[in-house]
Amino acid sequence: MSPVEALEVHLRMDPHDDEGWLVYGDWLTEQGDVRGQLVALHRRLSGVSAAEAGAIEAQINSIQADHEGMWLGGWRPPPSARLEWRYGFVWGVRLRQHTDLSGVLRGLCSVPAGRLLSRLSLDGSGLGADGAEAVFGGRGGAGVFDTLVEVDLGSNWLGDRGAEILARAARAGAFRSLAALSLYCNAMGPDAARVLAEAELFASVSTLDLSYNALGDQGVSALADALPDDAPLSALNLWGCAVGDAGVVALARSRCLGSLRLLTLRDNVVGDVGALALARSGVLRGLQVLDLSDNPVGVAGARALAVSAAEQRCELRL
């Protein structure tokens, strides 16, 4: 991998690294690519007057309008696609119709604008298990799933079968760069959590949203058991997942949550047993926010959590 390719990988993983973009912008300028000018213009926006900012933004918009067609190589996205641009590159794509995905990915993978694509949102696109099979089963998109950093598949009713399809794709090498994954509201049960965790789909993920899936204690326990000890997970959302004391005890005992900063367990069935397990565990040491709102935690559990959270400087929501 060349230094430029390594920098592109880094920018996909961290698109907000201004210094990295400046280095990349200088390289683009050396290649005669006007997108280097876009990077420099965005840099100039900080610390200028409103009038100067307006003039710079007008110049940015003019460059974008004049060159967008060239960057897209004549390819035109379907009406259901919303492209998210950054410095003349398509950083993300959001689709409301999953049936357009293969064409969009083929289009973006073949044009200059698509080389830094890192985010895909199919939120509420009607994917379902059959759609997941069509999209992920054949590993379409010229390997683009291998380099995606953020994927949102929320509210698609994938079910346990859809989870199996995602797990199979993960075992085949897809999603290996994944840092953020949303699977909220997908009618997944305990088996889905186990299958996905065992396929190491979550191994590199730092932000994971599994809210509003009926994972229950069994699913959350399977998740805690299957995650590697060095998992980089920093935010875990289990809002409304039918989690009780047994599931929370499993989380509290897990060694894979050492990097966790945000744990959301809102709207579950956690009582004093689970609350006491969290209070006595090492999980709170690194946590910045613990949300246990709308749970039947009693006085004893609430008191223990309050003391532990205060000691660890963790924001507690009950």
Q: Using one digit for the tens of pLDDT, what is the confidence trace for 179-197? A: 999 999 999 999 999 999 9
**Is the predicted pLDDT of residue 138 greater than 80, yes or no?**
no
pLDDT, position 140? 45
- Residues 145 and 226 grouped into a single domain: yes
152 or 46, greater pLDDT? 152
**Model's pTM, two decimal places?**
0.91
Q: Are residues 37 and 94 in the same domain?
A: no
Residues 91 and 65 in one domain: no
Q: Please check the confidence at residue 13 and state whether its pLDDT lies above 90.
A: no
Instruction: Point out the domain boundary residue: 71, 88, 109.
Output: 71
In terms of domains, do 265 and 158 share one? yes
Q: Are residues 54 and 161 in the same domain?
A: no
- Whether 102 has a pLDDT exceeding 90, the answer reads no
For residues 142 and 75, the model is more confident at: 75
- Compute the mean pLDDT over every residue in the chain, rounded to the nearest whole number: 91
Most confident by average pLDDT, 38-42, 96-100, 199-203, 241-245? 241-245
What does the pLDDT read at residue 258? 82
Which domain range does residue 251 map to?
75-317
**Span 233-255, mean pLDDT?**
95
The arithmetic mean of pLDDT across residues 20-38, rounded, is: 95
Same domain, 159 and 52: no
In this prediction, residue 139 carries a pLDDT of 53
Judged against a pLDDT cut of 70, whether residue 66 lies above it is answered with yes
Confidence of residue 142 (pLDDT cuts 50, 70, 90): very low
Beta strands 89-95; 81-86: pairing state: antiparallel
25 and 110 assigned to the same domain: no
Number of domains into which the chain is organized = 2
CATH number, domain with residue 159: 3.80.10.10
- For residues 139-168, average pLDDT: 85
Is the pLDDT at 171 greater than 60? The verdict is yes
Higher per-residue confidence, 89 vs 147: 89
Last residue of a domain, one of 71, 92, 114: 71
Q: Is the same domain home to 179 and 283?
A: yes
pLDDT tops 90 at residue 103 = no
Q: What is the mean pLDDT of residues 124-139?
A: 86
22 lies in the same domain as 146 = no
- Are 49 and 160 in a shared domain? no
Please state, for a pLDDT cut of 90, what percent of the chain lies above it: 69
Q: Where a domain ends, among 48, 71, 94?
A: 71
Same domain, 142 and 265: yes
| In a shared domain, residues 114 and 39 | no
